[in-house]
Chain A
Amino acid sequence: MACGLLALAVCLPRLGAAAQTADGQTTDVMTYAVVVTGLGGEEAYEKLIQGWGKDLYTALRRDGVAEQRLFWLAAQKQEGVSAESRQEEIVKLLGQLAGRIRPQDLFLLFLIGHGSYDDYDYRFSIPGPDLTAAQWSELLNRIRAERQVVANMTSSSGASLTALQRKGRVVITSTSAGRERNFSVFARYFVEALQGTVADANKNEEVSALEAFQFATGEVARYYESFKRLATEHALMEDRGEGEGVRQPSPQTGQGLLAAAIPLVRLGPRQAAAATPQIRDLRAKKRTLEEAIEELKYRKPAMDTSDYMRQLEKLLLELSRTQQSLDKLEGQ
């Protein structure tokens, strides 16, 4: 599975590359992110929800999203929180952003807390009136960004998937259905994925929405296994805007293509803006080699192992040399 998913990430380098600049943004592409943490109900949950919200805010702030485009709405006021996570504040902020965000921008929304489902509506638990999935959908649909990530990391969030899905939007829910009502720990690991390099499976110094999802689902499974408890949450991803969410995005399930191309945080130094013809040539060669490697990996099941390894090694050596030359020219 991992191979196939990573392939997706590399097969679409231009999607991701379009958003890369020296400061993480181009004049054409801006990333906007909204973190909303809801009510905890009990002190222990309040602490967890606020803590994860703060960690997420910090990770995004550090690695990708400029302060003026990053917003944290929380049930409790604290440093970094821009407003209370009440319905009116959420509506107000998303209304303002609907006016600012352009189609080429990237919009990220993260919901952390308790959700509920009464067989009709999913609701996100916030101070004052809750927001239903349909209301969230309506607010999000006003945002013009053609690439969006909505990570609903609350209990029962699976019930919100259908309402939230739309073409160009990666929807992640921490549960597979509304009936998975227990408190979800998915957010803990999703946030952890954005805090360091551990989730960067393909070592491209970015953590994509897909990588964060895969890291979090793996760690959630490990979490329940460590306690010998049956897992009460099974996260889903849907990024085609149609069909059902899947637990394991892959070429086979047809999900994960868009998510692989959307970086949530950047880990390494920014690529130099200046590009000489030699650098451009090397970059083009590098892309060609990367594509050839991915193409070879797709053919692996049908190939003789030793032949595959021989060809792989040759391409990897060539890629390594190319990268070495590129690094020298770029001064790295």
Chain B
Amino acid sequence: MAISGSGFKTSIGLRKGTTLVVPKSEPNPGASAPEVRHWTSAAKAALSSHRFGMAEAMPLQPLQSDFETACSVINHQGRTKRTAAKAGAVLAVLLGFCSIASAALEREKALLAQGEYAQAIGQLEKVLVVVPDDAEAAALLLQARLETGQYRQALEQGEQFLKRRSSPAVAEKTAEAALRLGKYERADAVLGSYSTPTANWLRGALAERKGQTEAARAAWQRVVNSDPADLSGEELGVVAEALASLGRFQQAHQLYRQAMEMAPKNAAIRAAWGNLLLRKHNPADAEGLFREALEINPNHTGALLGMAELAASRWEGQAAERLQNALQVHPNLAEARVLLARLHLEQDEHEAAAKELDAALQVNPRMLEAWSLQAVNEYLQGDETAVENQWLPRILKENPRFGKVFADLGDFSLLKRQYVIAVGFFRRAVKTDPDLAEARADLGINLLRLGKEQEARQALEEAYSQDPSNIWTVNTLRLMDSFSRFDSLQTEHFSGKLHQSESAVLRPYVEQLLEEALESLRKRYQYTPPDKVVFEMYPDHEDFAVRTVGLPGLGALGASFGPVVVMDSPSARPRGTFHWGSTLWHELAHVITLGITDYRVPRWFTEGLSVYEENNSRAGWGDPMTLDTVQALQKGQLIPLENLDTAFIRPKHPSQVAFAYFQAGMICEYIVEKYGFEKIIALLDAYGRKRSDAEAFREVLQVRLAEFDAQFLAYARERTYGFAEAVKLEGVRDGQPEAVLRAIPEASPNHYFSRLRLAQAALEKKQWQQAIAEAEAAKHLFPLYVDEGNPYEILAQAHLELGNKEQAVAELLLWKKTKGRNPKTFSQLATWLRELGRTDEAIQTLEDLLYIDPFDPKVHELLGDWYQETSAPRKAVREFAVLLGLDPPDRAGAHYRLAEAYHAIADMANARRQVLAALEIAPGYRPAQKLLLELSGK
């Protein structure tokens, strides 16, 4: 969009040292008053030159004393009618000179520059009463009206003025007012044949509004052709804007810098440059400029709007607040209304959005950005017919190149995870307006999300050539370049990538789990993805983030775009902190629920089902309940179902997202328990038929949302065993004496961490029975705590010390089932199980560990050995092959073990290959020598 929100394009004022600014082709269109501009300008120049001691001012010097007298009267007497009368004949004589009130208008200009619009308007109205034809004062007044949204008054006053006399500055302001009111033909008429930079810029903007790209570009080109030596700082800002509109961004940046140096107190230039930087993906510098602009003029609506856009782009809550601030200054700031509408739409607040859009259209009934969001609003409410048959034809009739409406529809489709539909809209966006580089980048990124790599690359490379500064485009192209370092993954139902550095380790587990998860889910949901699902794992979390959102810094672990699943590999996170198996299962559940509903499932429901599925996939899978979640439950912070989607998209606080996942999962669990799993399928079917939450729940569960919330609250209380309400989770300070610790549970028996600390203290003192008693009490209070210092491990150690390894093992098995994650504890449990002769369970424990930490060579070595012993040589082959993939210190040993495993399954060729590899490293390795001789039959 080319029009800034603040009317920054003032061309009032003279650059230091400039003697005369007279556009050569500046006629006097229909002016009834004599053309005095030349003369006035000369006088201004004289003043200006005089002030800076320039010789060119000399011809006007004889008038100087009279002029000063007049202006001094005007200044000191406040420009009232009374004062004007007192000025009498002097003023009458010097009427023409009163435009020379440039010196006298400094105060008004200062008020305007500082955002004291009401005062400025008051003062300027008074000036114009005295000197109605003062063009500079008139232009300033119009400017002030533009800044405060008094468009109609500005238009009328401007047109009245122009009937009396010509003035490019007044014409520019008048045209801008007409443009903002959607009166494009009037704006054109007002501009007439003026050819100042601002006039031409406005012509370009008007042509662009109508989709007349060539005309727009020609007009902006005329702006750019202006001789910079003749331009003020403000006018240079206009040229910079034109350069930006022509896609010449680097030159635009240079010119803005120059403009700022020439007009350092001009907030509008800073805001305009900030806007360009915002559009060119440099939010940090944009923010700096907006802040500087607001320091100069706290009411600068362009800067306020820019700050709001920044906040909105960062999904920050202050966006709406900043927009309200801007609207207080400028109630007709339609751009603010449109942005507010966008924020409402993001939260599915359709009525509120419509209200804001109506308000925007009250100002400018032809504002395409508002029409576009009206189309989005209809679309989001399911009325695709209205969009296709009513809104799109109307918009494209007004502006056949307004591809942005498709980009908007694409953006909101993405928000609803409707990637296929979004891609369709982005295609239409760039077809309608091939210059929409951002929509082209979005097209490429989302094609990639759908697994269409080649097409994605083409779109992204085109987008890059149009806008090399788009960080999303650049990041995604760079990521795609790195794909050469990935190995291909192919199974019956999946294709994808694993990084070369870890594919040898991950491949067997990933391939097996993908197929297993998909098989389980498709049976239960009766849905099979039509094509192979794309699956990618990234060892560098930032690569995953770029793959997902185009930028580094994403907090998530995995993402599903329907038929494409991407996620962190276990090496992207510190060991033992990430259950990649559970995450994989979670994301595959999205593939099903998004696919089955044609991407119409609400966010909360698809997340809830994914949580439900991972929790029920295998014992110990799914996220453990966090202390934050328990504390939120204690405070009764369940989110009403109608707000649950918003908690995912715009959480009120960071921990609300985790809680939203937990609650959504528990809601699904509740539906399954109370209504049966078939109702889950029925709900998905209803969502697929575009039912809202309220409609779907009424139709399928025969319950209103509020009723459901009440039922669920009771269930949630019951399911959390009461501990959520009973347990006291306040911490205990480090180093507290035991006597103090002991007093805590006496006073407050449900104090969890004091119990736990007492158990630990007893353990350190080898008071095993005491440790068991305290740890059991803690475990009873809050059985779901499995992090460091948990009661299960204390109990296990105490029981072991008392010689009861069976009970120690029982505690750790319970810990594992309760979603314990510490790899060392897994290994310990496996070792104890093995020592007790429970090798199958030991193997299962290490198998479970692989989904948390697959990179420990010792685990694979043990598993391989145990499989070999338990006559499962094929699994031993898998483990020893993985062991080799980990580049273990004992490579010769790993090759030998693998050779033995191959030997056991009578795969002699591989056995021979592996034993030779072992002996190549260690020729004197006797067991390998023996195997080689055996394989050679000698």
Contacts and interface: CB of A to CB of B under 8 A. Distances in A.
A binds B: yes
Interface of A: 2-3, 6, 10, 193, 197-204, 214-215, 218-219, 222, 225-228, 289-290, 293, 297, 309, 312-313, 315-317, 319-321, 323-324, 327
> Quick one: which of A10, A214, A228 has the most chain B CB within 10 A?
A228
B384 interface: no
Contacts of A323: 924, 926, 929
A209 to B, nearest CB: 15
Nearest to B932: A320
Contacts of B926: 203, 323, 327
B923 A319 contact: yes
A201 B889 contact: yes
A6 B573 CA distance: 34
Contacts of B928: 203
Contacts of B893: 197, 203
B916 interface: yes
B26 interface: no
A196 to B, nearest CB: 10
B673 to A, nearest CB: 39
B559 to A, nearest CB: 20
Contacts of A204: 922, 924
Contact of B574 (A219, A222, A226): A226
> Quick one: which of A215, A315, A324 has the most chain B CB within 10 A?
A324
B577 to A, nearest CB: 9
A201 B575 contact: no
5 contacts: A218-B887, A227-B574, A228-B572, A316-B929, A320-B919
A75 to B, nearest CB: 23
B889 A290 contact: no
Interface in B910-925: 916, 919-925
B344 to A, nearest CB: 40
A290 B923 CA distance: 7
Contacts of A309: 916
A218 B936 contact: no
Given A201-B922, A227-B575, A316-B920, 13 more contacts: A3-B920, A201-B890, A203-B922, A203-B926, A218-B889, A228-B572, A316-B923, A317-B933, A317-B936, A319-B923, A320-B919, A320-B929, A323-B929
Given A316-B916, A320-B929, A201 B573 contact: no
Contacts of A315: 923
B724 interface: no
> Quick one: which of B919, B923, B932 has the most chain A CB within 10 A?
B923
A2 B921 contact: yes
Interface string B539-578: 0000000000000000000000000000000011111000
A219 B858 CA distance: 12
A303 to B, nearest CB: 13
B938 interface: yes
A324 B923 contact: no
A164 B566 CA distance: 52
Contacts of A10: 923
B525 interface: no
> Quick one: which of A222, A309, A320 has the most chain B CB within 10 A?
A320
A316 B922 contact: no
Contacts of A218: 887, 889
Contacts of A2: 891, 921
Given A10-B923, A323-B924, A324-B933, A317 B938 contact: yes
B648 interface: no
A6 B929 contact: no
Contact of A215 (B572, B889, B923, B932): B889
A271 B887 CA distance: 31
A228 B574 CA distance: 5
B855 interface: yes
Measured as residues with beta carbon below 8 angstroms from the partner, the interface class of chain B is 20 to 34
Contacts of B936: 317
A295 to B, nearest CB: 12
A202 B928 CA distance: 12
A309 B920 CA distance: 10
Contacts of B929: 316, 319-320, 323-324
Contacts of A214: 889
B82 interface: no
Contacts of A215: 889
Contacts of B572: 228
Contacts of A320: 919, 929-930, 932-933
A270 B347 CA distance: 78
- Nearest first, the 5 closest Cβ-Cβ pairs linking A and B are A203-B925, A203-B922, A320-B929, A226-B575, A202-B922
B533 to A, nearest CB: 28
B359 interface: no
B892 interface: yes
B167 to A, nearest CB: 66
Contacts of A202: 892, 921-925
Nearest to A189: B889
Contacts of B922: 6, 201-204
B899 to A, nearest CB: 13
Contacts of A327: 926
A203 B926 CA distance: 8
Contact of B921 (A6, A193, A225, A313): A6
Interface in B872-925: 887, 889-893, 916, 919-925
A289 to B, nearest CB: 8
Contacts of A226: 574-575, 855
Nearest to A6: B921
Contacts of B925: 202-203
B116 to A, nearest CB: 54
A313 to B, nearest CB: 6
A289 B919 CA distance: 13
Nearest to A218: B889
A272 B922 CA distance: 22
B920 A317 contact: no
B932 A203 contact: no
Given A10-B923, A226-B575, A290-B924, A197 B890 contact: yes
A232 to B, nearest CB: 16
A15 B933 CA distance: 30
A313 B923 contact: no
Nearest to B934: A320
Given A202-B892, A215-B889, A312 B574 contact: no
A151 B266 CA distance: 68
B401 to A, nearest CB: 49
Given A226-B855, A290-B923, A203 B573 contact: no
B889 A199 contact: yes
Contacts of B924: 202-204, 290, 319, 323
Contacts of A203: 892-893, 921-922, 924-926, 928
Given A214-B889, A227-B575, A320-B930, A3 B921 contact: yes
Given A226-B855, A316-B932, A317-B933, A293 B891 contact: no
A315 B923 CA distance: 9
Nearest to B936: A317
A121 to B, nearest CB: 35
Contacts of A225: 571
A202 B921 CA distance: 6
A309 B923 CA distance: 14
A52 to B, nearest CB: 18
Nearest to B920: A312
> Quick one: which of B575, B887, B891, B924 has the most chain A CB within 10 A?
B924
A3 B922 CA distance: 9
A203 B571 CA distance: 31
Nearest to B924: A204
A321 B938 contact: yes
B932 A317 contact: yes
A218 B923 CA distance: 22
A323 B855 CA distance: 36
Contacts of B571: 225
Contacts of B573: 228
Nearest to B931: A320
